[in-house]
Structure 1
């Protein structure tokens, strides 16, 4: 009841804590829902990616199977060699650079001789298989042109033969054949098959590379061509960025603000292909956590078996989804802050926020009313308590408070030193000399001012741990915890001298005769009696008070304006 506003504030905080707990739980559940929602969105994306990859694979498999059927069919090779253009190409194959027209007005076939292939890894001139390779290159030429135009944006499709010839759609007639073959030998889409890294002879999505002329990132699908167990070349197809962009826009069931614009494809070998806003990029997107990507590469096989899920590190999530029957997984990235913000937007649109605001307004209003109603009561109670424990004129402690402070000092000493310890405590009794004359001569208002001045002198000459008090009309006391008799006598002498100094200043500032007296210029002196425990008596309030009061009487009998701290001196002074 002494602090009603504190009680209301605590109730307010408890109520808000309960509502906040409910809100945080709902927020957490929403973030989990959003995480699962993004996982479902990734499944939808995976279906779209699977459809595109399957379409590309079918096109590439068709070209690869067609090439292998040509190489495995002697009848088709004989029929192809009967064509005059194939025979002309065979005759010209000894030149450093030669060309042959493709079948059915397809792209030109380019090639070089054994000298042009010297030092180019992955290519060699084999006279026995050269005729079949020329027939295959001419036959596959129109099919490459058809595949190249299958996308809205034309992408490069090629057949590269290990015998030193190739077909490109679109054509690059300005390229020097040996130089282009040397470039093919360094590219992953060809080297992976030559070096035996693709032992399963699968279609592979080679790592990202940059086309030197266009300065754009390109991803390429390639498939090896074998005949009689011998590597004969590779069919290569660039992935059209326009189709990937359409995938980004069409396979998401999230809004534009919620849908991530960055994702990646990871194969079982740990190769990654990144997409940012539907475009292929060779650079890892900034939002992808490098550590989680390393975990994904190391766990690719295990994740393939799991099918879907996510890995988490320091509040970041890497979600994965196996793409159909392929060797690829679709990856996307999110974190707790992104999920929390998305959930918070929905929370602020829910009735819960209205409840929060209503409780806040209600309790704040209640707090103001309670504070207004009980504020004056609490203030009055505090003021009455202060008046009951202090002197209203000087502001010093009264006799009741002085005795309470004495008891508290003894209790504290007992806690710190134990029951067997005898606490050291001193007491001063102070009395203003001839105070009645001040009242009779200058009036009671001036006398009150003298009391206030003396109280201020006491405050200024005592430590914070020492307590002054007004215990009577002009009688004062001071409690000195931990002080012995000599220390207490020194403090008393300091107070007496301070009063004398004030008296000297008052005499110097007194006005001329006949002028009104300034109460601050009234000179007065003080007599002090000192008592201490255990030197004089046990640490009892009444006993110490009696000793100090007796010595105060002796100081007055001895002439006033003095300190008496021993009974022998007080007796001698009384006799004198």
Structure 2
């Protein structure tokens, strides 16, 4: 046969394809199936590793929520403690309280075995017993010299105790217990005589741990988990001592209701569609462990937690807190841990290889992968696309969480956590630039609070209140240097960090901010008057003022966050009490009657 130019005979693979197309297609399909199966098995293993890291990120999210709850409880408790010590140390409040007929009546009745007095502003009753009733109850002693002041304090703090008790969806018990044998408790216990409750208080860690010099630093104490017999549920309690003139006068106590509140937070933080473990643990620096199982708290170890891994966690609690997050493994079982904020708690959860593999397999076989064998090319492209998107979502979620953890979503300012981080970084930078010298770093702090902010919300609505917060945040940014950092640390409370500023400079900055706010208030009033919207102004035209407390190191105290925050906060309250719309930069500042 004659060979035609431009055409070639099929040979090699091409010849085989032409001769046995079915065999070639089958072999290629089986080879592709084998390749995909191998890649699938490898991908299945990789998915288990990714799922393990995903659980670690999910645990980090849950820890942020738990940290927010614990911090909120600590702030409320510190407020009650600071208020109690302020009342005891304030001669004017004591004089005014002693003139109250209710207090006088309570003093007359205080010699009775059981006596009571109504709380202020419809607060819970003040209950107590006499010296005879306190006989044999350790930690309580009737002191006639301090009894009037303690009764005044108990009446004054009564409405605050009730408000704190109702602040959360889960209503936990809050109390002020005086060493003079009287107390305020919300919710009230009309079924329990005062003497019986005082005897119970004397045996509980939340009171005893503050006695006999056991808490010389006067720290907040987180008591071990105990069971409330009436409700048959486990309870954790925060308590803080109250001192006056260096003498222990009592304690403020607040139950943290972890059986519902913390468990609700843990159950609500799911970020993935996969089934998440329903069991968690909280480990403190002392090695105490609390478990959350199906929304309930228990001190009994669930069977799913490996005891050897838990023993390792107790032994290495301090090291794990420094690491922040990670996991320990033993025999195919994993214990994941995440340090909760800047507290002394570690959040734990557990899993194992079988659970990770089953979860990954469910994802594989619930997808259209089996059908996609007929379209391997589409399957590979689709798989790559899905994996890329999954990892992109994880990275985006981590980035968003990092932003949320460090900034306030409404104003865009730093939050309390980021504020503390920048404070520590400022001190470290000052130490480096000082060449290791022992000179105290110069730093100042402002505490700012919008005056009568609740009235804005009540009159104009929360949307207008949010707009006022945003406006104030913008004023802060415009009146601070780039090196100075503003932050929103509470509802209407803000703070500012001024590196290198002494007390006089910080006071001048605070006054500049106050005047800027005052100028905005004047402009707002003028705009509302000009447009006839004085009765129902636009949110941008709402007038408001601000009170500011100033503290600086080393003028006021060492360069410690809590110390500077405490001084600035104290002076903020002084600004509030002396008439608002002012700056207080020293504790001895007198009240201006005209401005008041």
> Mind listing any 5+ residue stretches in structure 1 that lack a counterpart?
1-12, 360-576
Secondary structure of the corresponding residue to residue 115 of structure 1: helix
Secondary structure of the corresponding residue to residue 86 of structure 1: helix
Deviation at residue 292 of structure 1 after TM alignment: 2.1
The answer for the alignment partner of 1:171 in structure 2 is 188
In the alignment, does 2:309 pair up with 1:297?
no
Of 228, 248, 258, 2:266 maps to 248
The answer for the alignment partner of 2:519 in structure 1 is none
The answer for the alignment partner of 1:85 in structure 2 is 102
Give the 5 Å matches for 1:206-221.
206-221=223-238
Give the 5 Å matches for 1:112-131.
112-131=129-148
Higher relative contact order (CA 8 A, sep 6+): 1
Distance 1:303 1:294 in 2: 13
CA contact (8 A) 1:148 1:154 kept: yes
The answer for the alignment partner of 1:232 in structure 2 is 249
> Mind listing any 5+ residue stretches in structure 2 that lack a counterpart?
1-29, 377-596
Q: TM-score, normalised by structure 2?
A: 0.54
In the alignment, does 2:208 pair up with 1:202?
no
Structure 1, residues 59-82: CA drift from partner, whole Å, max 9, x if none? 111111111111222222222122
Secondary structure of the corresponding residue to residue 325 of structure 1: coil
CA contact (8 A) 2:263 2:297 kept: no
In the alignment, does 2:204 pair up with 1:187?
yes
CA contact (8 A) 2:120 2:155 kept: yes
Distance 2:136 2:308 in 1: 40
- CA RMSD of superposed structures (Å): 2.9
Summarize the Cα distance change of 1:177–1:22 in structure 2 as closer, same or farther, 3 Å threshold: same
Summarize the Cα distance change of 1:195–1:341 in structure 2 as closer, same or farther, 3 Å threshold: farther
Summarize the Cα distance change of 1:254–1:182 in structure 2 as closer, same or farther, 3 Å threshold: farther
The answer for the alignment partner of 1:143 in structure 2 is 160
Secondary structure of the corresponding residue to residue 151 of structure 2: helix
When Rg is computed on C-alpha atoms for both structures, the one with the higher figure is 1
Distance 1:227 1:341 in 2: 61
CA contact (8 A) 2:162 2:187 kept: yes
The answer for the alignment partner of 1:106 in structure 2 is 123
Distance 1:85 1:70 in 2: 17
The answer for the alignment partner of 2:581 in structure 1 is none
In the alignment, does 2:114 pair up with 1:97?
yes
Deviation at residue 198 of structure 1 after TM alignment: 4.3
Q: TM-score, normalised by structure 1?
A: 0.55
Distance 1:245 1:115 in 2: 44
Q: Structure 1 residues 333-342 or 148-157, which shifts more?
A: 148-157
The answer for the alignment partner of 2:335 in structure 1 is 318
The answer for the alignment partner of 1:570 in structure 2 is none
Of 92, 107, 126, 1:75 maps to 92
Deviation at residue 207 of structure 1 after TM alignment: 2.2
Distance 2:31 2:218 in 1: 68
The answer for the alignment partner of 2:6 in structure 1 is none
Distance 1:47 1:53 in 2: 10
Summarize the Cα distance change of 1:323–1:105 in structure 2 as closer, same or farther, 3 Å threshold: same
In the alignment, does 2:177 pair up with 1:160?
yes
Structure 1, residues 454-483: CA drift from partner, whole Å, max 9, x if none? xxxxxxxxxxxxxxxxxxxxxxxxxxxxxx
Summarize the Cα distance change of 1:122–1:353 in structure 2 as closer, same or farther, 3 Å threshold: farther
CA contact (8 A) 1:109 1:166 kept: yes
Secondary structure of the corresponding residue to residue 225 of structure 2: strand
Deviation at residue 169 of structure 1 after TM alignment: 0.8
The answer for the alignment partner of 2:439 in structure 1 is none
Distance 1:212 1:89 in 2: 31
Structure 1, residues 130-162: CA drift from partner, whole Å, max 9, x if none? 222111111100111111222234221111112
Distance 2:284 2:265 in 1: 19
